[in-house]
C-alpha cells in the first residue's frame, strides 16, 4: 500500500513538472511572438533599401487603416484620373490619382484628412517641375496612419490656418519633416482650386511585384508600395468616386507596375543613369537635365489598358508619350527571341493623360525599334518623323537600357 502511495505521489509530481514545463514553453512562445511583432514594426520603420523611413517614425502599430472620409466633396470634383498615367516629367506610370475640381479660382474647395493620424511631413513647391518656371506655392502633405498605412496629398494650394499655426513658415521650395501634427478624419487640411489634387495610399507592409528591381526607385521609395486606393474606402464612398473616374475597368485605381522578366513591357532606365534618380541626383534637375531624361516605359494606357503607350524621357529634347498605330505587338509578348520589334508612334492626348480614349487614327509622328537582350537589357532607337516603312533597322544610334 505504501509503495502504491509513493508511486501515485511520484506520478503526480511528474505531471506537475510536465505542466510547469508546458507553461514555460507557452510563455516563451508568447514572448517570442511579441518580440516578432515589435520587430516587424521596427523593420517597417527601418524600411526599404536599408534606410530609415521618416514617414513611419513614432508609429505604434502595423494595422491596415481604413479611410473614413473622402479627400474632397464629390460635388466639387469634375473627374478623377487613375494611377498609371504618363505626363511631362512623369515618364513612368504615375503613382497617384488626380482629383480634378470643377472650374474654379485657386483655393476654392476644401481638402480633408481621409483618416485619423498625424501629418509627418509638409513640402512646398514654387516652381514647375519640368521647366523650373516660378509659380505660386503648392503643398505636399504626408499623413501617417499606422506603420503600414500612409496617405498623401500634393498640389494643395493653401494650408488651413490650424496647420500653419503648427508648422510655421515653410520655404517656397523647401520642406519640414519630423512633424507629428495630429489630425482627425474629415478635418479640413487646406484648399484646392484651378488644378488637380493628387492623392495616394502607400502600404509599407507590401511591395508591388511588377518592379523587377525595387532598389532602382530609392529616391521615391514609396512608389513600390503604392496600394489600391479605392480598397481603403467603404463601398458607398468607392461608388461616389467611381462615378467620377475616367477608368471603367478593374483595378479601378489603376496600375503602375508592369515589369515582366525577359519581356519588353515595363519601365527601363538608360544604362549608367542611376535608375529612377537619374544623373541629376535625388529627383532634381529641370529641362534636358531632369532626372527623367533616362526613363523609358512601354506600358498600357491607364484609362483603357487595352491600348499600348510608349513613353520617352527624351524625345527630341523633351519627355513625351505616344500611342501605337495598330496597337501591336503586345509588349508582354516581346522577348529576346522575338528579334527587333517596331512601333509606329501616334499622338496621345496630353502625353497619355487626361482623356478617356486615344485617337487610333492619328498620323504617325515617328517610329521606334526595340530589341530585348538577355540580363534585363534593352536596345532602343527612335526615328522622329519617319514612318515604319522608312525604318529598316538600327542605324548605329541605338541606346542601351536596363532594369
Answer yes or no: is 297 within a domain: yes
Q: Is residue 239 within 8 Å of 96, Cβ to Cβ?
A: no
CATH number at residue 158: 2.70.70
Same domain membership, residue 392 and residue 330: yes
Same domain membership, residue 93 and residue 32: no
Q: How far apart are CA 303 and CA 249, in angstroms?
A: 8
Same domain membership, residue 331 and residue 286: yes
Q: How far apart are CA 99 and CA 71, in angstroms?
A: 9
Q: Is residue 382 within 8 Å of 368, Cβ to Cβ?
A: yes
With bands split at pLDDT 50, 70 and 90, how would you rate the model's confidence at 279?
A: confident
Using alpha carbons only, how large is the chain's radius of gyration in Å?
A: 26
- How confident is the model over 54-106, as pLDDT tens digits? 999 999 999 999 999 999 999 999 999 999 999 989 999 999 999 999 998 99
Same domain membership, residue 221 and residue 80: yes
- How confident is the model over 181-193, as pLDDT tens digits? 999 999 999 999 9
Q: How far apart are CA 51 and CA 383, in angstroms?
A: 41
Torsion of CA 278, 279, 285, 289, to 10 degrees: -110
Number of domains making up the chain: 3
Q: How far apart are CA 115 and CA 106, in angstroms?
A: 25
Q: How far apart are CA 35 and CA 30, in angstroms?
A: 9
In angstroms, the Cα distances linking 50 to 44, 46, 144, 216, 340 are 10, 7, 20, 13, 38
Answer yes or no: is 59 within a domain: no
Domain hosting 363: range is 266-402
Same domain membership, residue 226 and residue 107: yes
Same domain membership, residue 108 and residue 189: yes
User: Per residue in 309-344, is it b (16+ CB within 10 Å) or e — as a string?
Assistant: bbbbbbbeebbbbbbbbeeebebeebbeeeeebebb
Same domain membership, residue 270 and residue 387: yes
Same domain membership, residue 365 and residue 288: yes
| pTM to 2 decimal places | 0.85
Decide if pLDDT at 297 tops 50: yes
Answer yes or no: is 286 within a domain: yes
- How confident is the model over 93-135, as pLDDT tens digits? 999 999 999 998 999 999 999 999 999 999 998 877 666 778 8
> Which residue from 191, 91, 86 is spatially nearest to 137, judged by alpha carbons?
191
Same domain membership, residue 288 and residue 163: no
> Which residue from 118, 108, 170 is spatially nearest to 146, judged by alpha carbons?
118
- Identify the DSSP state of 212: S
Answer yes or no: is 62 within a domain: no
Same domain membership, residue 272 and residue 234: no
Report the relative pairing of strands 109-112 and 197-203 from DSSP bridges.
unpaired
Answer yes or no: is 251 within a domain: no
- How confident is the model over 221-240, as pLDDT tens digits? 999 999 999 999 999 999 99
> Which residue from 313, 401, 397 is spatially nearest to 91, judged by alpha carbons?
313
Q: Which residue, of 226, 242, 258, is where some domain finishes?
A: 242
Same domain membership, residue 366 and residue 222: no
- How confident is the model over 337-391, as pLDDT tens digits? 999 999 999 988 654 445 566 777 789 999 999 999 999 999 999 999 999 999 9
Answer yes or no: is 261 within a domain: no
Same domain membership, residue 270 and residue 234: no
Answer yes or no: is 21 within a domain: yes
Q: Which residue, of 242, 258, 278, is where some domain finishes?
A: 242
Answer yes or no: is 252 within a domain: no
Amino acid at each position: 500500500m505504501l509503495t502504491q502511495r509513493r508511486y501515485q505521489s511520484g506520478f503526480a509530481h511528474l505531471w506537475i513538472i510536465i505542466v510547469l514545463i508546458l507553461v514555460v514553453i507557452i510563455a516563451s512562445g508568447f514572448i517570442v511572438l511579441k518580440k516578432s511583432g515589435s520587430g516587424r514594426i521596427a523593420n517597417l520603420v527601418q524600411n526599404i533599401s536599408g534606410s530609415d523611413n521618416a514617414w513611419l517614425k513614432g508609429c505604434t502599430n502595423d494595422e491596415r487603416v481604413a479611410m473614413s472620409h473622402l479627400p474632397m466633396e464629390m460635388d466639387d470634383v469634375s473627374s478623377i484620373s487613375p494611377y498609371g498615367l504618363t505626363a511631362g516629367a512623369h515618364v513612368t506610370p504615375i503613382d497617384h490619382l488626380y482629383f480634378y475640381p470643377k472650374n474654379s479660382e485657386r483655393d476654392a474647395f476644401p481638402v480633408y484628412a481621409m483618416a485619423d493620424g498625424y501629418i509627418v511631413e509638409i513640402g512646398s513647391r514654387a516652381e514647375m517641375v519640368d521647366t523650373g518656371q516660378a509659380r505660386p506655392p503648392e503643398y505636399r502633405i504626408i499623413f501617417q496612419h499606422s506603420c503600414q498605412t500612409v496617405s498623401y496629398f500634393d498640389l494643395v494650394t493653401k494650408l488651413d490656418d490650424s496647420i500653419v499655426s503648427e508648422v510655421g513658415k515653410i520655404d517656397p521650395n523647401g520642406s519640414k519633416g519630423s512633424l507629428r501634427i495630429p489630425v482627425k478624419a474629415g478635418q479640413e487640411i487646406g484648399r484646392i482650386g484651378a488644378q488637380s489634387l493628387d492623392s495616394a495610399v502607400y502600404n509599407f507592409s507590401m511591395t508591388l511585384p511588377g518592379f523587377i528591381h525595387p532598389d532602382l526607385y530609392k529616391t521615391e521609395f514609396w512608389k513600390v508600395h503604392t496600394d489600391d486606393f479605392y480598397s481603403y474606402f467603404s463601398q458607398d464612398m468607392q461608388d461616389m468616386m467611381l462615378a467620377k473616374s475616367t477608368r471603367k475597368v478593374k483595378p479601378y485605381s489603376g496600375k503602375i507596375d508592369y515589369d515582366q522578366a525577359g519581356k519588353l513591357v515595363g519601365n527601363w532606365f538608360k544604362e549608367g543613369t542611376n535608375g529612377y534618380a537619374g544623373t541629376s541626383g535625388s529627383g532634381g534637375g529641370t529641362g534636358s537635365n531632369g532626372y527623367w531624361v533616362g526613363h523609358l516605359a512601354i506600358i498600357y494606357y491607364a484609362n483603357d489598358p487595352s491600348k499600348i503607350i510608349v513613353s520617352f524621357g527624351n524625345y527630341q529634347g523633351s519627355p513625351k508619350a505616344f500611342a501605337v498605330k495598330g496597337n501591336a505587338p503586345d509588349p508582354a509578348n516581346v522577348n529576346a527571341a522575338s528579334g527587333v520589334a517596331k512601333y509606329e508612334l501616334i499622338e496621345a492626348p496630353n502625353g497619355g493623360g487626361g482623356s478617356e480614349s486615344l485617337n487610333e487614327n492619328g498620323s504617325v509622328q515617328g517610329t521606334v525599334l526595340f530589341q530585348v537582350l538577355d540580363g534585363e537589357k534593352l536596345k532602343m532607337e527612335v526615328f522622329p518623323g519617319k514612318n515604319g516603312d522608312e525604318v529598316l533597322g538600327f542605324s548605329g544610334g541605338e541606346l542601351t537600357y536596363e532594369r
